[in-house]
Amino acid sequence: MKSHHQILIIGGGTAGIMTAARLLKKDKNLDIAIIEPADTHYYQPAWTLVGAGDYDYKKTAKPMADIMPDHVQWIKDYATAFAPESNIVSTKSNGNITYDFLVVAPGLVMEPSMIDGLKEGLDKGIVCSNYTDPEHTWEVLKNFKGGNAVFTQPTTPIKCGGAPQKIAYLAADYFKKHNLTHKSNVIFATPGSVIFGVKPIRETLMKVIGRYGIHFKPFYAPHKIDSENKIIYFKHVDPDENKCVINEDPAIGELAIEENIIKIPFDMLHIAPPQVAPKFIRDSSLVNTSGWLDVNHHSLQHNKYSNIFGLGDVAGLPTAKTGAAIRKQAPVVVDNILKLIKHQEASNKNYKGYSSCPLVTGYGKMTLAEFDYDSNFTPDPKLKRMLIFNSAKEHWRLYMFKKVMLPYLYWNKMLKGQDV
């Protein structure tokens, strides 16, 4: 196996595969290797629907060998460390590998240990997460007979920031369809100040919350989980210290037990675990002060090492971590690497923070949030022409777009380096 490559990519997820495929579309003679230890590649956006019983989990997985681009050398190994001054990546089994250009795209990792009690309770009993085991979420949902169904998310950045509320809406719709609404309380608790940062989408989602009668709890950061006694503790994190602290809600058994700490009993708990960059990234010289890859927000070029680029979930960008974001990031990275190969400046700074979040609001209902760094609502012109209606509003066509069209485009277009 070669120990030097013109372009070395860390990560065989969406970002790594798409970047490699797009590079080879431009020049099939490029020498590219991908370091990726996993045997299976997952289409994770569908896990929301898996958790609601509306998608087959098996259809979200394909062998890594089937999606690895032709002419790429697959190094089935773990990256463990960097020596960027010497253009070296160390691996677990294959020693040191050198490169001319490096693309860092290993995604992120779950870190349940950051919430007391989560590691012990996750994916057991009535504690579940679409992020880790969506099939277990579906089992919990099917077995729910009433009481408090709590949905929450951590204070860390997470992949697909809207996912924790999507499953809340689907669960509320499921309870409605199964005559459980009258004896169920759906609670959505978030450390954030609003349900969504993009105004037209926020207006739609507040109507959805009203329609289902969801108890919306802003400034609630999950602090501790007692899965044995079925209690979750939140820290109230409103930055306005002059505000009246907490409104207890007897209807859901909510109780303030000390200053800024609230407890809520649950009969179902869905949580997005805290998420961080992989340890070998956090321990490197490549990260910013928050522990994410330190790249230019518009060119995706590393701020210190000019022959290193980063994209996808590991990148320290002030936008949502989604596959849609990668769709706009990858062409910029590819263009800049090709420029550097030709001894030109990496002058493409066209990434404006585009991301999108398909917000499922019930079975057969969805709104599509598309936005940039400034939280402007920015519908993709191609998609807008295809849908011919306001995607900030709920529509069944959007749901079918997520369930049928997006997986097709992902496997057959995006991962093959084609424009979509």
**152-204: pLDDT as tens digits:** 999 999 999 999 999 999 999 999 999 999 999 999 999 999 999 999 999 99
What pLDDT does residue 245 have? 52
**Distance (Å, rounded) from C-alpha 16 to C-alpha 26?**
16
Q: Whose CA is closest to 185, among 265, 282, 121?
A: 265
Amino acid at 398: L
Q: Which two tokens stand for residue 191?
A: 């450390």
Q: Note the helical H segments in 144-288.
A: 163-177, 199-212, 279-282
Residues of the chain with pLDDT below 70 are 241-247, 384, 386-388
What pLDDT does residue 258 have? 84
* Cβ neighbours around 84 below 10 Å, total: 17
- In sequence order, the 6+-apart residues with CB closer than 8 A to the CB of 275 are 108, 109, 110, 111, 131, 154, 156, 157, 158, 159
- 339 burial (CB, 10 Å; 0-12 / 13-18 / 19+) is middle
Task: Domains for the chain: give ranges and CATH numbers.
Answer: 4-108+277-349 (3.50.50.60), 117-274 (3.50.50.60)
369-372: which pairs have CB atoms within 8 A and are 24 or more residues apart?
369/162, 369/196, 369/198, 369/201, 370/324, 371/197, 371/198, 371/201, 371/319, 371/320, 372/319
**Distance (Å, rounded) from C-alpha 302 to C-alpha 386?**
36
CA distances for 121 relative to 129, 150, 320, angstroms: 11, 14, 27
Sign of the alpha-carbon dihedral angle for 293, 299, 301, 302: negative
Pair 181, 214: CB distance under 8 Å: no
Residues serving a catalytic function are: 160, 357
What pLDDT does residue 329 have? 98
**Distance (Å, rounded) from C-alpha 403 to C-alpha 414?**
16
DSSP letter (8 states) at residue 402: I
What pLDDT does residue 386 have? 67
What pLDDT does residue 259 have? 82
Tens digits of residue pLDDT in 89-136: 999 999 999 999 999 999 999 999 999 999 999 999 999 999 999 999
Pair 224, 254: CB distance under 8 Å: no
Only one residue has tokens 């790594």, namely 16
Judging by DSSP bridges, how do beta strands 96-104 and 308-310 pair with one another? Answer: parallel
- 358 burial (CB, 10 Å; 0-12 / 13-18 / 19+) is buried
Q: In degrees rounded to 5, what are phi and psi of residue 376?
A: -75, 140
Judging by DSSP bridges, how do beta strands 79-83 and 40-42 pair with one another? Answer: unpaired
CA distances for 44 relative to 40, 55, 132, angstroms: 12, 12, 10
DSSP letter (8 states) at residue 93: S
3-state secondary structure of 18: helix
Q: Which two tokens stand for residue 385?
A: 């022409």
Which secondary-structure segment (H or E) carries 255?
strand 255-258
Q: Whose CA is closest to 307, among 353, 350, 345?
A: 345
What pLDDT does residue 116 have? 98
